[in-house]
């Protein structure tokens, strides 16, 4: 595809967080009589949707840059070290003195599911005044992870960014988050006409569209201007639809160890496929493989090391055939 000589393959916009991973925690850990619970592991690492996507894209061989706010204190320095060791371009990071990156305790339960205990932060949301829009002329793709968690970018800024990126020939990709601030189902409508690929989870998409059938969900987004809808259905794989085609992709048969970041790995892997010229079916298969493989280790972006590792997993793992049409 065009744009092979641009400075960046992907610019990732979104949240950054310090993850404190605590594994193998029983459901009644906070209600049992004992005040002590032995964890399987306690791990300190970086996280957040944009970080997870940027790290995964770098591991897959892309020049990925992270555009977000990061504090200048110990937490920020720890995350900065993670990013540089992971090969992520940090030249676009904004590190103001009044920014305090928040930390999240990720409680990984015995079945691999997780809960988040989110600590406070200060001035960690990216502002339009932080951004030089000309950088989007220098990238092949832009990801926003995740809409509904982007502060002022949700209320008009992201539409400006995506429009600028599209005009320069870049692919625009948006992940989604739950509407924790109560912005409303139509708060992001201005972004959709400039979104090439929208990749919400099923639950997030139901909230926004009011529909429950995957086809009807996709139709709402397509009518709003999105060009391609990729619906993440967790343990049931994904659903793709655009103006020309629609299909389900079956999941891999796995027992998850930790599902943290699986959706972010899915998004990164799908975009990696697009940048390599794969068709949507192959992108979806590869993305499902990446999401499933990520669940086999602890951490949001620590288990996968390369495209070859994902390919090996896909060649050996069984698919769960659901028979959908």
Give the pLDDT confidence of 123-178 residue by residue, as tens digits: 999 999 999 999 999 999 999 988 999 999 999 999 999 999 999 999 999 999 99
Q: Compute CA distances 139 → 83, 204, 273, whole Å.
A: 19, 28, 16
User: What does pLDDT average to over the chain?
Assistant: 94
What is the DSSP secondary structure assignment for residue 123, as one 8-state letter?
S
Give the domains, in start order, of the chain with CATH numbers: 8-15+49-100+123-316 (3.40.1190.20)
Which tokens is 192 given? 């959709």
In this structure, the number of other CB atoms found within 10 A of the CB of residue 279 comes to 10
Give the total residue count for the chain.
Answer: 325
**Structure confidence by residue, pLDDT tens digits, 218-258:** 999 999 999 999 999 999 999 999 999 999 999 999 999 88
Which tokens is 253 given? 């048969």
What is the DSSP secondary structure assignment for residue 314, as one 8-state letter?
H
Query: Contact, 288 vs 264, CB < 8 A?
Result: no
In this structure, the number of other CB atoms found within 10 A of the CB of residue 245 comes to 11
- End-to-end CA separation in angstroms for the chain: 31
Strand order from edge to edge, sheet including 238-242:
64-67, 8-14, 139-147, 171-176, 197-199, 228-232, 238-242, 246-249
Say what the pTM is: 0.93
The CA distance from 160 to 10, in Å, is: 17
């Amino acid at each position: 595809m065009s744009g092979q000589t641009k400075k960046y393959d992907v610019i990732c916009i979104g949240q950054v967080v310090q993850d404190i991973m605590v594994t193998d925690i029983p459901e009644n850990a906070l209600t049992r009589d004992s005040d002590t619970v032995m964890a399987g592991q306690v791990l300190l690492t970086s996280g957040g949707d944009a970080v997870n996507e940027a790290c995964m894209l770098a591991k897959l061989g892309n020049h990925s840059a992270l555009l977000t706010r990061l504090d200048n204190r110990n937490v920020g320095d720890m995350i900065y070290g993670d990013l540089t060791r992971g090969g992520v371009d940090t030249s676009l990071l904004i590190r103001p003195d009044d920014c305090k990156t928040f930390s999240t305790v990720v409680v990984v339960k015995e079945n691999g599911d997780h809960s988040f205990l989110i600590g406070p932060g200060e001035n960690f949301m990216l502002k339009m005044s932080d951004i030089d829009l000309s950088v989007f002329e220098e990238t092949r793709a832009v990801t926003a992870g995740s809409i509904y968690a982007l502060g002022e970018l949700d209320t008009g800024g992201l539409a400006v960014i995506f429009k600028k990126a599209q005009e320069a020939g870049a692919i625009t990709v948006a992940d989604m988050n739950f509407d924790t601030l109560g912005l409303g189902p139509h708060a992001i409508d201005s972004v959709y006409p400039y979104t090439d690929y929208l990749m919400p989870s099923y639950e997030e998409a139901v909230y926004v569209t009011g529909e429950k059938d995957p086809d009807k969900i996709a139709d709402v987004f397509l009518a709003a201007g999105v060009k391609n809808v990729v619906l993440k259905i967790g343990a049931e794989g994904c659903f793709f639809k655009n103006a020309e085609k629609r299909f389900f992709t079956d999941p891999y048969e796995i027992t998850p160890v930790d599902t943290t970041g699986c959706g972010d790995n899915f998004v990164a892997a799908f975009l990696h496929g697009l940048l390599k010229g794969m068709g949507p079916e192959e992108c979806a298969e590869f993305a499902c493989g990446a999401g499933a493989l990520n669940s086999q280790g602890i951490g949001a972006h620590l288990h996968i090391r390369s495209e070859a590792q994902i390919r090996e997993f896909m060649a050996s793992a069984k698919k769960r055939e659901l028979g959908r049409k």
